[in-house]
Amino acid sequence: MKIFTIFAVIFACAHGLGEDCNGSWGSCQDYQNCHTGSTITGQCAGPWNIQCCPKVGQSCKSNTGNCMLTSHCSGTTYAGYCPGPSNVKCCTGGSSGGCPLTKYTGSKIIGSTCTVEVGFVPQMDKINSWASSCNVQVYITSSYRANADVSGAIVQPASRSNHMIGHAIDMNVVDGATGVFCNSNCLRSLSTAPSGVKCFINKVQADSVLRWGMSFNDPVHIDEPININYPSRWDQLYWATQGACVSK
Ligand SMILES: [Zn+2]
């Protein structure tokens, strides 16, 4: 009898908050936290508000492409290849199967791979041209970062970082005239930094779109503050990249 009780408890706990839904269609979440479209009821244990949030971004069954919201697919959608509700379909073609991220290359951009959302490319072009005119190189240390969620479930992140939508870079600056590698301490003390570095950062600060992270004590950070100025656009870009670029 005791054994039956234990089994019953284990069974009741399965498909609870944060776990896979019954049928692995997604993860069980408070329906208010599900931003991937309609939720599926009856697939999660627990109170009524814990519902199955369909997993998008996984590979389609027996087809190329990714499962995503049809509204986020810039290519062609196919029914029958993805679990979940009717607004999650297999997306093929379009921009990389709907993934809006691209690897940016520029003559003055060095260091780690620079992955940004396609809408940020014009800003990167400006950064590259300023680096050229100031005779510096921009050494990338970080760019796009998917929400590093350990469970693999798609959840609303705790805060909106512009790295998570591909509209931010972390960088050091290499001064062409002196060869000085200007890291975060060097950037923080901008008044004593090499003149090429000052020239470059001044252009970032003077720009009407871009923001230098020094204003929030992060001197290696440059972004387009979509999280502050256009939060709904941030949400849209976040779910578009999560849905189409992040493999599950
Ligand atoms: Zn940053």
What is the DSSP track for 106-142?
-TTEEES-EEEEGGGHHHHHHHHHHHHHTTEEEEEEE
Q: How far is the CA of 204 from the centre of ligand 1 (A)?
A: 15
- Give residue 39's pLDDT band: very low, low, confident or very high (50, 70, 90): confident
Segment 236-242 mean pLDDT: 78
Coil/strand/helix, residue 31: helix
Contact partners, residue 187, CB within 8 Å, separation at least 6? 172, 173, 193, 197, 201, 214, 219, 220
- Give residue 75's pLDDT band: very low, low, confident or very high (50, 70, 90): confident
Q: How far is the CA of 132 from the centre of ligand 1 (A)?
A: 22
pLDDT at position 35, please? 59
Segment 218-232 mean pLDDT: 93
Q: How far is the CA of 248 from the centre of ligand 1 (A)?
A: 24
pLDDT at position 57, please? 57
Q: How far is the CA of 179 from the centre of ligand 1 (A)?
A: 24
Q: How far is the CA of 232 from the centre of ligand 1 (A)?
A: 20
Residue-averaged pLDDT of the chain:
81
pLDDT at 67 over 60: yes
pLDDT at 85 over 80: no
**Structure confidence by residue, pLDDT tens digits, 134-178:** 999 999 999 998 865 434 444 556 578 899 899 999 999 999 999
Domains identified in the chain and CATH numbers: 1-54 (no CATH), 56-98 (no CATH), 101-244 (3.30.1380)
The distance between the two most distant Cα atoms of the chain, rounded to a whole number of Å, is 80
Q: How far is the CA of 154 from the centre of ligand 1 (A)?
A: 22
Q: How far is the CA of 175 from the centre of ligand 1 (A)?
A: 21
Model-level pTM? 0.64
